[in-house]
């Protein structure tokens, strides 16, 4: 039901690092239990974006939880933030199971899931939130090698009303 409701975003300059740190805190314990190593690299001038931090947090919660679930026996979760013209690019990559090539075009569709449990709304909501923030999200994956999501969000300094 939440997916079908219009989003009411309060866009303001937001410290992206803080949003990502909060989301990483949620998975930290599970990552430790599963021997998943987390690395976060922040290039300078990459921190402030135009966003609704509460809504945006659910994007990274979802991406990080999915990554951890794809690595039940350990691996690496890497997050890289870097400036990219008028955007900030966030790369979230894991060394998990990966996504089958035929499923890649469908992963942002509502109710599509490859998991036995779950609603199939997680990545659909992620895509919608990114779209509402005038950003983009792309995915690359190789079965057995891992997955990489690339999110681009508007740089707060580059945005003009």
- pLDDT tens-digit profile of 109-126? 988 887 777 778 899 999
In the chain, where are the structural domains located? 11-154
Is pTM beyond 0.85? Reply is yes
- pLDDT tens-digit profile of 25-60? 999 999 999 999 999 999 887 668 999 999 999 999
Q: Residues, the chain, total? A: 161
Q: Locate the DSSP E strands across 16-145.
A: 36-42, 48-51, 75-84, 87-94, 136-142
Q: What is the share, in percent, of the chain residues with pLDDT greater than 90?
A: 76
Q: Which of 91, 105, 107 is nearest to 152 (CA)?
A: 91
Which residue's structure tokens are 């990274």? 60
Q: Which CATH class is domain 11-154?
A: alpha beta
The rounded distance, in Å, linking the Cα atoms of 122 and 110 is 8
Bridge-based pairing state of the strands 87-94 and 48-51? unpaired
């Amino acid at each position: 039901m939440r997916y079908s409701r219009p989003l009411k975003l309060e866009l303001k300059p937001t410290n992206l690092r803080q949003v990502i740190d909060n989301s990483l805190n949620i998975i930290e314990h599970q990552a430790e239990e599963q021997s998943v190593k987390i690395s976060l690299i922040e290039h300078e001038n990459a921190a402030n974006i135009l966003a609704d931090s509460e809504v945006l947090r659910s994007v990274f919660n979802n991406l990080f939880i999915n990554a951890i679930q794809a690595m039940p026996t350990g691996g690496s979760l890497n997050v890289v933030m870097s400036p990219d013209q008028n955007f900030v690019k966030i790369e979230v990559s894991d060394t998990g199971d990966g996504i089958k090539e035929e499923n890649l075009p469908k992963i942002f569709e509502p109710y599509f899931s490859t998991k036995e449990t779950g609603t199939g709304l997680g990545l659909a909501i992620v895509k919608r939130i990114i779209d509402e923030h005038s950003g983009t999200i792309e995915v690359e994956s190789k079965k057995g090698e891992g997955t990489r999501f690339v999110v681009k969000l508007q740089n707060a300094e580059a945005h003009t009303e």
